[in-house]
Amino acid sequence: MPPVPPRPDPPAGESPAGAAPQQPRRGERVVRLRPEQTDEGYKSVYSELTRPTIGSRIRTGIRGIGEVMITFGVVVLLFAAYEVWGTTAVIGSHQDTLDQQLDQQWDQPDPTVGPTPSASPNPLAGNAIARLYIPKLDKQWVVVEGVTQKDIRYAPGHYPSSAGPGKVGNFAVAGHRNRATFWRLDELDTGDAIVVETKTDWFVYKVVRTRIVKPTQVEVVAPVPGQPGVKPSQAMVTLTTCNPKFDNYQRLIVHGQLARKQARSAGQPVELG
């Protein structure tokens, strides 16, 4: 059988017989390929190889950057969701544990009562010392001793150098500005109640002032708020947190003054419903 003669190239710009003309896509350049001869004849007549241009490469790069940014945005949204709901769940779990610890602690005999009373030691950092209620926000927390990041990770913390609950001076408490803690502290108005529960008593404070200060203005937790060195004559409470939300270049401060004291054995104050 005589060899199959090579098929001549069609004129430039024409499509081979039986082949539909192919239009190059935007941003691509068409390069013609020669036919391939095999033992069975011509395997293909003409093919088109497309090669990207500089413009198409730029568009591909922009598209890739866009996909990366979308992925990054999804990751940020997932992280934000965890900060809102995940952190709230974690703090709630730790608050339940602290609540149980506080009940167990209050069930123990008072070391200052008995035939041989002993001095009550200062609470250790991170230990539960009281419960804090804000009826307007329908919120309550166990308060721990200390205000380091470790101390207040899961609970509001008492400034160790400030007065105790109900004592003359300033019972100062710091808390993070997250949805599980002092997120809505800015909603408090003058006259709103802040209630503190100890082993023996309830202390009902009334908000007298809210303000925003710089982080360096530590005089807000002085025995007389804003007047360091002055001897106190009233029992106060001060709540501090970051401001604005999602940032910490300011501090939101809420001051309250003791309105009344009630024995814990008499039941909950009317402010708690």
Q: 94, 158, 176, 255: which is the annotated catalytic residue? A: 176
Q: In the beta sheet, which residues pair with residue 252? A: 212, 241
Cis peptide before 121 (omega within 30 of 0): no
For the question of residue 94 being annotated catalytic, the response is no
Q: 94, 158, 242, 255: which is the annotated catalytic residue? A: 242
For the question of residue 255 being annotated catalytic, the response is no
The tokens describing 129, both together, are: 């010392």
Q: Write the Ramachandran bin of 138: left for phi over 0, alpha for psi from -120 to 50, otherwise beta.
A: left
Please state, in angstroms and rounded to a whole number, the distance separating the CA atoms of residues 179 and 99.
Answer: 19
Show the beta-strand stretches assigned E in the chain. Answer: 28-33, 36-38, 41-44, 47-52, 128-134, 139-145, 157-158, 169-174, 193-197, 201-213, 235-243, 250-263
Neighbouring C-alpha atoms within 13 Å toward the C-beta of 82: 6
* Selection from 93, 200, 104 nearest residue 155 by Cα: 93
* Selection from 2, 1, 4, 13 nearest residue 42 by Cα: 4
Q: Which residues are catalytic?
A: 176, 242
